[in-house]
Amino acid sequence: LTRAAVASPLPMFASDGFIDEGRGHPRTSGTYSKVLGRYVREQGVLSLAEAIRRMTLEPALRLQTRVPEMALKGRIMLAGHADITIFDPETVIDRSTYEDAMIPAHGINYVIIAGEVVVDGGDLTSARPGRAIRARISARAAN
């Protein structure tokens, strides 16, 4: 069932997972690396370019109507807000479990968020530059 969903051109890949006091769902740290490792590399369900588009540009396009700042996300462009993940497509794979959702993915070498290195050579740094992006709420929706 999951393989069929991944193969469909319709879904985007994203996660709403979070860690609370060291506990959480494996999707928190494993969503993207699972798609890249299992469904792109191991099973060939979709191409690397298609997976990246559905992880980055598609969610930004879907949200930018309600969250205008998303028009600057999901693509690398002048004055954009692209966060960058550098990974090895030959080794990337999720390792998180229900017992330990904090296990980092393998093959993710660097993550740069807002110009700060958050993962350096595969190791998590102390930098936490990310911030929440809030939706614009219309007056009609607020009532």
Torsion angle (degrees, nearest 10) of CA 133, 68, 62, 31 = -20
Identify the pLDDT of residue 34.
Answer: 93
**Nearest of 30, 20, 52 to residue 107 by alpha carbon:** 30
pLDDT in tens, 59-100: 999 999 999 889 989 888 888 887 899 999 999 999 988 888
| Residue bearing the bigger pLDDT, 28 or 105 | 105
Round to whole Å and give the CA distance between 16 and 28: 7
What local confidence, expressed as pLDDT, does residue 122 receive?
Answer: 92
Please report, for residues 40, 119, 120, the alpha-carbon distance to residue 127 in angstroms, rounded to integers and kept in the order given.
30, 9, 10
The pTM for the full model equals: 0.85
Mean pLDDT of 26-46: 92
The phi, psi pair for 106, rounded to 5°, reads -90, 145
Residue 139: per-residue pLDDT: 55
